[in-house]
Structure 1
Amino acid sequence: MTRVVKFGGSSLANGPQYEKVTQIIMANHERRIVVVSAPGKRDENDQKVTDLLIEYATLSELDQNIENIQKTLVARYETIAQYFQLSPSDFKTIRETIIQLPLLFSGKGNDRLAYFKAHGEKLNAMLMALILQKLGQRARFVDPAELGLVVTGQPDSATITEESYTNIKHFKISDDEILVIPGFYGVTKKGDIATFARGGSDITGSIVARGFGVHFYENFTDVSSVYAANPNIVDRPVAIEQMTYREMRELSYAGFSVFNDEAIIPAIQGQVTINVKNTNRPNDPGTRIIPEHDFHPSHPITGVSNSDHFSALYLHRYLLNQEVGLTLKLLQIFYRYNISYEHMPSGIDDLTIIFDNRQLTEDKIQALCADIEETLEPDAMQWIEDYTIIMIVGEGMFLKPTTVAEAISSLTMNGIEVNMINQGASQISAMIGTKKKDAKRAVATIYQHFFQEDNHD
């Protein structure tokens, strides 16, 4: 059985980390398809290679001095190569590619950024293949263009095409070789590089697993498990052994950052089991993300998370629920400003619209509110910045209808104000709105209510 295995930037930051990765790959002959990120930070004061490449793209576009940034980038990869005693001739192509990037691509703006950023992963995949070869493995670097990973969309927010899966399915791989594939990007039909919006290497890993028909995808990062709550909020939270695709999607939406929520989609389509593991503790079992039909919940909730990148617009108008077309008018306004909304809980006279405020600016908020005021003429309207969403998620919630009531009761008993309650149609999640100052305490309170009996067993 073949496995896809992906390594994040922290796992590939330097020579010693790289050595751990090569040992993991060689420890199991089933790990034959390797997806890599660009080298991450070596310490808190360091820069990610991706950030260096963004700087490189900007400086070169402005015709400013690029010698220092070129030297820094070469050194990042060369230090790893020297750790494994690669010869200068082996490293020559990587060095020359870094130096020649401004000559290889003359485009500007987001096209240029995508081209430069993607080389963080591309050069690292080339280096990984060389190192595995040095260690006696039959490894082959495979560019996304060669693989047939075709994308559409903007240069910095690519979307995978269905034809990619057909292309990957027919890609030839020998029984004794290891393919090393750069994550984070694909190519358009015109041959241009386009990157995924965020967490791109996770997405590539899922795409490749589905394409090759691989049903086990190991995603190595710097933690041993996905936890039931943020360890920065709850001391030593319960490690999640298994969770479903949709649980991961829901929790990722509200703050779980271990695995990219968009990367779940190809895995769902290919029914791929994802195993989140720790590069530094590879023998730890990690967390498995599996299809719903294989899951048997042992707890009412699987996890609780929070996110404070939300704002809300509150509208009050008598007989609001009887006005035909009001929601349509609102959506038309959002469309004009190119704004998406996250949730819209309502009552007979009240409506709250929740936004991801990362898409908003102060000017856009003022213009949006003025437009709504003029178009809908509400009796009262308030923009709420002080807004945090708490997400409670668990397949077991469907089996225990009192779960949400228990969570709310635990908050009110501890003096935490609840501004909004919204339970998803799937009945495996509930969203609670609180003030930002109460967010961490709310997460800890809900966690303690549901997990205190099992914690630290």
Structure 2
Amino acid sequence: MKVSKFGGSSVASAEQLVKVGAIINDDSKRKFIVVSAPGKRFKGDEKITDLLIQLGESYISNQPFDNVLDKILTRFSGIINELNISNSVLDDINQTIQSILSKQITDERKMDALKSVGEDSSAKILSQYLKSLNLNASYLNPKDAGIIVSNEPGRAQILPQSFEKLYALRERNEILVIPGFFGYTEDEQLVTFSRGGSDITGSIVAAGVKADLYENFTDVDSVYSVNPQIVQDPIEITSLTYREMRELSYAGFSVFHDEALIPAFKENIPVCIKNTNNPTSLGTMIVASKKHDKKCVVGIASAAGFCSLYVSKYLMNREVGFGRKLLQILEDEDISFEHAPSGIDDMSVIIRESQLTAEKENSILKRVKEELNADMVTFHRNLAMIMIVGEGIMSTIGIAQKATTAITEADVNIEMINQGSSEVSIMFGIRAEGINRAIQSLYTAFFE
């Protein structure tokens, strides 16, 4: 039994949904289907989720929103008409949006509800299309599926009792089409996962029904060893472990949401990444473990948009609780941290720049200076992180030396290194402007 998840590019248009229908029809083991919201059809196009966010922001700020609503409904109308299914689906979508806008709920919950419309509508459209192909298919709302989540709008976490409810779905005979990205709290409030959370839903469903395989259909034949926008025609990765994929996802690989594999990983369910446009391709298998080889490194990932909070204080290492107090200040400002390399007199905390407003930056600088009596407190912006990833990386001699040499040869200065915190990766912090040069040099060193 398979759980198959189709991403935004796979459901972006009627043409793509016809391919999805053929893939589902081709294999009777594909019993559970999870879908994203329609993504971009072409470069410069708009994702439905982005349009729904625009709609919500306009409504909440009392700005005109009819134009955005028309765009959303026109997009869905085009898909529905081309698939030749009933216009009652479009009426349902419109009524859902109008109901959300008129509901007396907080702005935060209104935004969550609006963002969920993309996935919900995809599921309704696909289930109707599958029925038109004479397949026994049904739309299944996450509430009815049993996807119960924590009450954290925009960043929900799955609750343990969900899995027993999901397992009961095995008894149903039809193909079940489930919208990704959102669930319901114990008191039946709609809450979304973080952006890209349809991958999380797919993994949760696979874990819940104890699937034999979780397929994640996207628009690439496999996972590449490096971003193909930086290196031309990079080699494909045929097999990865969960830990390797998690590190690659966190560090900028866009194939998977970085939290997506956790439920599948816990249930030891293999995952296969496949291409909707080329479904016969083998894809990339993600498994619990594999044999180490001498090459060790399977991928190089990168992500920009980081900054570093640098704190210096003489004899910091002797001050009990200094790190805790520093991180508490960040917690008070609702900021999470990524890495925290330190020395005897100084400490750096790496955070994502998107979390840091000017007000928060000033507040943090002031509090660290006053409350911790720091000698120096500064923020360094425009940082990028590069991850060298592979099982056995810690026990393979010469990996760090080869990486540092490659980065140096690219005329890029290494701002920080973090190797001890992971058994499958080495992290390098550099200035963002050098990221392409560094990646190209590293690829040459490890793969050519």
Shorter-chain TM-score tier: over 0.9
The answer to whether structure 1 residue 270 and structure 2 residue 275 are counterparts is: no
The percentage of aligned residue pairs carrying the same residue is 40
The answer to whether the 8 Å contact 1:40/1:47 transfers is: yes
Question: Deviation at 1:225?
Answer: 1.4
Pick the aligned partner of 2:365 from 362, 369, 381.
369
What RMSD, in angstroms, separates the aligned Cα atoms of the two structures? Answer: 2.1
Cα distance change, pair 413–89 in 1 and its aligned pair in 2 (3 A): closer
Q: Which residue does the alignment assign to 1:317?
A: 313
The superposition leaves residues 358-401 of structure 1 with CA deviations (integer Å, 9 ceiling, x where unpaired) of 21112211221122122333334432113221111110313413
Q: Which residue does the alignment assign to 2:434?
A: 438
The superposition leaves residues 288-319 of structure 1 with CA deviations (integer Å, 9 ceiling, x where unpaired) of 11112x45446221111122221112233333
Q: Distance in 2 between matches of 1:65 and 1:370?
A: 40
Q: Which residue does the alignment assign to 1:76?
A: 75
Cα distance change, pair 234–66 in 1 and its aligned pair in 2 (3 A): closer
Q: Which residue does the alignment assign to 1:217?
A: 214
1:227-246 superposed matches below 5 A: 227-246=224-243
Secondary structure of 2:38's aligned partner: coil
Question: Deviation at 1:320?
Answer: 2.6
AA at the equivalent of 2:418: N
Q: Distance in 2 between matches of 1:295 and 1:80?
A: 46
Q: Which residue does the alignment assign to 1:3?
A: 2
Q: Distance in 2 between matches of 1:300 and 1:289?
A: 16
Q: Which shows bigger deviation, 88-97 or 130-139?
A: 88-97
Question: Deviation at 1:218?
Answer: 0.7
The answer to whether structure 1 residue 411 and structure 2 residue 394 are counterparts is: no
Q: Which shows bigger deviation, 44-53 or 128-137?
A: 44-53
The answer to whether structure 1 residue 119 and structure 2 residue 111 are counterparts is: no
Q: Distance in 2 between matches of 1:89 and 1:13?
A: 20
Q: Distance in 2 between matches of 1:251 and 1:343?
A: 16
Cα distance change, pair 204–351 in 1 and its aligned pair in 2 (3 A): same
1:146-185 superposed matches below 5 A: 146-175=144-173, 177-185=174-182
Cα distance change, pair 59–370 in 1 and its aligned pair in 2 (3 A): closer
The superposition leaves residues 207-230 of structure 1 with CA deviations (integer Å, 9 ceiling, x where unpaired) of 000000103111111111111111
AA at the equivalent of 2:334: N
AA at the equivalent of 1:291: A
Q: Distance in 2 between matches of 1:90 and 1:426?
A: 48
The answer to whether the 8 Å contact 2:368/2:377 transfers is: no
The answer to whether structure 1 residue 135 and structure 2 residue 133 are counterparts is: yes
Cα distance change, pair 57–418 in 1 and its aligned pair in 2 (3 A): closer
Q: Which shows bigger deviation, 283-292 or 83-92?
A: 83-92
Q: Which residue does the alignment assign to 1:51?
A: 50
Q: Which shows bigger deviation, 363-372 or 74-83?
A: 74-83
Cα distance change, pair 420–107 in 1 and its aligned pair in 2 (3 A): same
The superposition leaves residues 15-70 of structure 1 with CA deviations (integer Å, 9 ceiling, x where unpaired) of 11111111111111111110011111222333222222233334445666555444
Secondary structure of 1:311's aligned partner: strand
Q: Distance in 1 between matches of 2:256 and 2:149?
A: 21
Q: Distance in 2 between matches of 1:98 and 1:345?
A: 46
Q: Distance in 2 between matches of 1:254 and 1:63?
A: 38
Q: Which residue does the alignment assign to 1:455?
A: none
1:60-75 superposed matches below 5 A: 60-61=59-60, 67-75=66-74
Cα distance change, pair 89–194 in 1 and its aligned pair in 2 (3 A): closer
The answer to whether structure 1 residue 360 and structure 2 residue 360 are counterparts is: no
1:180-199 superposed matches below 5 A: 180-199=177-196
Q: Distance in 2 between matches of 1:379 and 1:56?
A: 47
The answer to whether structure 1 residue 248 and structure 2 residue 245 are counterparts is: yes
Secondary structure of 1:353's aligned partner: strand
Question: Deviation at 1:86?
Answer: 1.8
Q: Which residue does the alignment assign to 1:429?
A: 425
Q: Which residue does the alignment assign to 1:288?
A: 285
Question: Deviation at 1:335?
Answer: 2.8
The superposition leaves residues 304-361 of structure 1 with CA deviations (integer Å, 9 ceiling, x where unpaired) of 1122221112233333322323223312322332222222212223322222222111
Count residues in correspondence: 448
Q: Distance in 2 between matches of 1:353 and 1:312?
A: 6
AA at the equivalent of 2:4: V
Q: Distance in 2 between matches of 1:266 and 1:170?
A: 17
1:296-311 superposed matches below 5 A: 296-297=292-293, 299-311=295-307
Cα distance change, pair 351–68 in 1 and its aligned pair in 2 (3 A): closer
The answer to whether the 8 Å contact 1:215/1:270 transfers is: no
Q: Distance in 1 between matches of 2:399 and 2:20?
A: 41
Q: Distance in 2 between matches of 1:183 and 1:298?
A: 39
Secondary structure of 1:86's aligned partner: coil
Question: Deviation at 1:195?
Answer: 0.6
Cα distance change, pair 26–419 in 1 and its aligned pair in 2 (3 A): same
Q: Distance in 1 between matches of 2:27 and 2:77?
A: 27
The superposition leaves residues 249-288 of structure 1 with CA deviations (integer Å, 9 ceiling, x where unpaired) of 1122221111011111111111111111111111111111
The answer to whether the 8 Å contact 2:100/2:110 transfers is: no
The answer to whether the 8 Å contact 1:37/1:183 transfers is: yes
Q: Distance in 1 between matches of 2:391 and 2:146?
A: 37
Secondary structure of 1:288's aligned partner: strand
Q: Distance in 1 between matches of 2:432 and 2:225?
A: 20
The answer to whether the 8 Å contact 1:73/1:98 transfers is: no
Cα distance change, pair 85–194 in 1 and its aligned pair in 2 (3 A): same
The answer to whether the 8 Å contact 2:392/2:423 transfers is: no
Cα distance change, pair 395–82 in 1 and its aligned pair in 2 (3 A): same
* Structure 2: gaps spanning 5 or more residues: none
Q: Which residue does the alignment assign to 1:259?
A: 256
